[in-house]
Amino acid sequence: MISRAASRISVLHFAESDDTSGFFPQLATWHERDRYRMLFGTLKPMAPWLQEFMERAGVACMSCNARTRAEYPLGLFRLRRYLRRERIDLLHTHLFEPSAVGLLAGVLAGTRGRIMTRHYSNYHTRIGKRWHVRVDRLCNRMSHAVIAVSQHTADHIVGEECVPAEKVNVVLNGIDFSRVKVSDKDAPARLRREWCPEGAHLLVVPGRLHPEKGHTHFFQALPAIRQRLARPVVVLVAGAGPFESAYREEVRFLGCEDVVRFLGFRRDIPDVIAAADLVVLPSVAEAFGLVVAEALYLGTPIVATQVGGIPEIVEDGIDGVLVPPGDSKALADAIVRLLGDPERRRLMASAGRERVRERFSFEKLMRAYEQLYERLVEECPQSR
């Protein structure tokens, strides 16, 4: 056991290569420097912008530089050597492949405490990836503690992957409110003028272009939405991914290409969300749904599906509307009703912002991580 007067605890966060969400820069910003020495590593070559940011924040960086899976064994060796050389107290891994490689390196290096955050829930089980499920189970065993980003994720890990409940810690994702803000007060109105005819409704569908996000169910609802609304509607699909060409073709087949704009990845997503009348998240699976919390904080009501961690963010009927996943008719009904009721949208926007501010601050997430770190340092024997 160590006292709080002892030297700082070294924590290495180990991830993949890039970070479009800003999660790791926020960790660098919010960690308690007097108590923790934060380091950051990646399995694949680190994005230059990310390395520059982390080092400016005083976070030492390393990369295993594994460009293909064939190079993962060499990456594992590099990480094992780094863990020993830097005398890392705690290894905290994120996402699937970095956890598989990182935790094994931590075991081989004799790293004192090993923590994994599960940023996904039942994805591998749901799509029948048996070997991935086995790797998930192995990662659970190699970890001293598992962090679930929602209660839904925790329930899956305990119930389906047979991890002892005391090993699983629910830490809801957090928002750095200083980062989730419009670039200037006129930006939303300016974007509406750019994309919308005067008087048109504006919908934003954020998220990577992947079947898990349920875009197809929304596109199939769009003809009915257009038919039932008295005013035009414009849809902004904000995100990138391998299914963009397929989704563009689907939109053309449905005769909706005149109202759907594919924006790709946007760094000004708060401006885009704040410009919208509604944010729509039609996911068929979602471990947490951080963009939902961000939209509510920005004051834009939500129509989303009742899956994963989303019901832990959206209070149905209070700050948004939840519908069954894969139900295009229910999605259309909810969107049409809310677009036709601006007063209800205004009340939802106000309620959502206050709830998010109370529950989902990034500082609260960081303090929960650090409480877990303290416990592990006390419980795990010094192995070196």
Structure letter (DSSP) for residue 381 = P
In whole angstroms, what separates CA 357 from the centre of its chain?
Answer: 17
Q: What is the per-residue pLDDT for 2?
A: 42
- Please state the rounded mean pLDDT for residues 133-151: 94
Contact 11, 366 (CB under 8 A): no
Best CA proximity match to 282, nearest among 230, 335, 246, 245: 335
| CATH code 3.40.50.2000 region(s) in the chain | 9-174+362-379, 187-359
166 residue type, one letter: E
Instruction: Give the angle subtended at the CA of 10 by the CAs of 9 and 13, to the nearest 5°.
Output: 130
pLDDT digits (tens, 9 = 90+) for 202-244: 999 998 899 989 999 999 999 999 999 999 999 999 999 899 9
- Please state the rounded mean pLDDT for residues 2-13: 72
Residue 323 β-bridge partners: 305
The yes-or-no verdict on residue 174 having pLDDT over 60 is yes
Q: What is the per-residue pLDDT for 47?
A: 94
Give the range among 50-64, 327-341, 351-365 with minimum mean pLDDT.
351-365
202 residue type, one letter: L
User: CATH code for 187-359?
Assistant: 3.40.50.2000
Helix (H) / strand (E) containing 164: none
- Please state the rounded mean pLDDT for residues 24-51: 94
Q: What is the per-residue pLDDT for 5?
A: 39
Residue 145 β-bridge partners: 115
End-to-end CA separation in angstroms for the chain:
14
Contact 17, 42 (CB under 8 A): yes
Share of the chain above pLDDT 70, in %: 96
1 — pLDDT class (breaks 50, 70, 90): very low
382 — pLDDT class (breaks 50, 70, 90): low
pLDDT digits (tens, 9 = 90+) for 79-102: 999 999 999 999 999 999 999 999
Best CA proximity match to 303, nearest among 223, 225, 192, 209: 225
User: CATH code for 9-174+362-379?
Assistant: 3.40.50.2000
Whole-number mean pLDDT of the chain? 91
**Distance between CA atoms of residues 40 and 130, nearest Å:** 30
Q: What is the per-residue pLDDT for 87?
A: 94
Contact 27, 13 (CB under 8 A): yes
Give the range among 21-25, 68-72, 249-253, 301-305 with minimum mean pLDDT.
21-25
Q: What is the per-residue pLDDT for 356?
A: 87
pLDDT digits (tens, 9 = 90+) for 65-77: 999 999 999 999 9
Label residues 230-253 b or e (16+ Cβ within 10 Å = b). eeebbbbbbbbbebbeebeebbee
**Distance between CA atoms of residues 122 and 288, nearest Å:** 12
Q: What is the per-residue pLDDT for 383?
A: 53
**Distance between CA atoms of residues 69 and 224, nearest Å:** 45
Q: What is the per-residue pLDDT for 380?
A: 78
Q: Please state, as a whole number, how many other Cβ atoms lie within 10 Å of the Cβ of residue 200.
A: 16
**Distance between CA atoms of residues 168 and 146, nearest Å:** 5
**Distance between CA atoms of residues 116 and 140, nearest Å:** 8
**Distance between CA atoms of residues 276 and 237, nearest Å:** 12
In the sheet that holds 36-42, the strands lie side by side as: 60-63, 36-42, 9-15, 90-94, 113-118, 145-148, 168-170
Collapsing DSSP to helix, strand or coil, 208 comes out as coil
Most confidently predicted of 282-291, 303-312, 351-360: 303-312
The yes-or-no verdict on residue 384 having pLDDT over 50 is no
Residue scoring higher pLDDT (128 or 164): 164
The yes-or-no verdict on residue 3 having pLDDT over 50 is no
| Residue 383 CB-density burial (10 A; 0-12 exposed, 13-18 middle, 19+ buried) | exposed
